[in-house]
Amino acid sequence: MRLVVLYGQESGLARELAQGLIRAVCGTAADDFQLVSLTPEDLKADPARLLDEAQAIPMFGGRRVVHVRDAGDGLAGAAAGLLETPGAEALTIVEAIGLNKTSKLVKLASGSGSAAAIACYPDSARDLADVVREMLSAAGLGASAEAQALLLSSLGDNRADTRSRLETLILYKGEDRTPVSAEDIRAVLADAPETRIGDLADAVLAGRIERALVLLDRCLENAIAPGGILRFLGGQVRQVRKARALKGPPDKMALMRMFRLPLDRAAAMAETVRTWDETRLSQAERVLFAAERASRIQAANDAAIVGQAVIALARLAGRR
């Protein structure tokens, strides 16, 4: 297989499939010699580049992947040339949302023995339920019938958004392996942006103390448990530490693949990784450990304890 065209209407599913193919070939830490990402603008400026990249040999071995996003039917000619060239052995993945089965690029991939065309359309209710079961099960979590119904009603038909929100729910649960409850879902998947726990974590890790305290108050007012907030912040710190293990400077595309993040959240994560060095991460872990311990001992004061932890973490982020 040398060419895969992902077409249809659902960009989130196309992105998930593309990232899955990239991981299957490159693993989770592909270098720039093994994976190259191209845009239509890149190919317009240099029409021969698709074939050149597909023929390039990775410096450190392995199979090369060429990933083209936001492609249109204008890529059909270059794709045909790629399939006609024996030495172009890279796997070329093309995200072409907006095209249909009658498009030239899709017909080319469908009719070739060295290519495939995969339709990407919004998730049905059954697809959505399967994704929920798969992700919760992988995290060692179950859910009550009420929680399952509420969760399915809270998620849309965009696969990338679904996975991002489920990852947030899993981070919120942390090491707590009790079944996901309706209260957990209301806490994490609230529709109003100011009550989403992820926005609170973003403000904390960016060092925005005033914004973080406003969001903390709103989260607490909406019955998000202080213990859940501490667990979620701990999960975010662990993600940053994992991201720092990647070779080279933080790259938003690599982070997007690793954590299944939307591009804007991956860009924010890249900035966080640059700010949070090993010393600060260790200090943050000590702050959170002490806060979780204190909240168990002084349960009546858990809201104040999480507030102090939020301030301490935000100050760490802002320290230069």
State whether 155 and 67 are in the same domain.
Answer: no
Residues of the chain with pLDDT under 50: 192-194, 320
pLDDT digits (tens, 9 = 90+) for 57-70: 887 778 899 999 99
State whether 259 and 273 are in the same domain.
Answer: yes
State whether 140 and 40 are in the same domain.
Answer: no
The predicted structure's pLDDT at residue 181: 86
State whether 159 and 85 are in the same domain.
Answer: no
- Residue 52 to residue 276: CA distance in whole angstroms: 38
Contact status, residue 101 vs residue 117, Cβ threshold 8 Å: yes
State whether 92 and 178 are in the same domain.
Answer: no
CATH assignment of the domain containing 197:
1.20.272.10
CATH assignment of the domain containing 107:
3.40.50.300
Final residue belonging to a domain, choices 77, 98, 120: 120
Give helix then strand counts, H and E, for the chain. 16, 5
The predicted structure's pLDDT at residue 269: 82
The predicted structure's pLDDT at residue 228: 86
State whether 59 and 73 are in the same domain.
Answer: yes
The predicted structure's pLDDT at residue 307: 94
Contact status, residue 172 vs residue 187, Cβ threshold 8 Å: yes
Final residue belonging to a domain, choices 120, 152, 176: 120
Q: How many domains, in total, are found in the chain?
A: 2
pLDDT digits (tens, 9 = 90+) for 234-276: 988 988 988 887 766 777 777 776 776 666 667 778 888 888 9
State whether 238 and 300 are in the same domain.
Answer: yes
State whether 174 and 295 are in the same domain.
Answer: yes
The predicted structure's pLDDT at residue 190: 62
Q: Which residue has the tokens 């040398």?
A: 2
- Residue 168 to residue 316: CA distance in whole angstroms: 23
State whether 129 and 96 are in the same domain.
Answer: no
Domain that holds residue 86: 3-120
**Which positions ≥6 away from 89 have C-beta within 8 Å?**
2, 54, 55, 63, 64
Closest alpha carbon to 227 in 309, 147, 164, 136: 309
State whether 186 and 241 are in the same domain.
Answer: yes
The predicted structure's pLDDT at residue 319: 63
Distance linking the first and last C-alpha atoms of the chain? 50
State whether 95 and 221 are in the same domain.
Answer: no
Final residue belonging to a domain, choices 120, 135, 170: 120
Ordered strands of the 115-120 beta sheet: 35-38, 65-68, 91-97, 3-8, 115-120
Torsion, Cα of 33, 38, 44, 50 (10° steps): 50
State whether 111 and 201 are in the same domain.
Answer: no
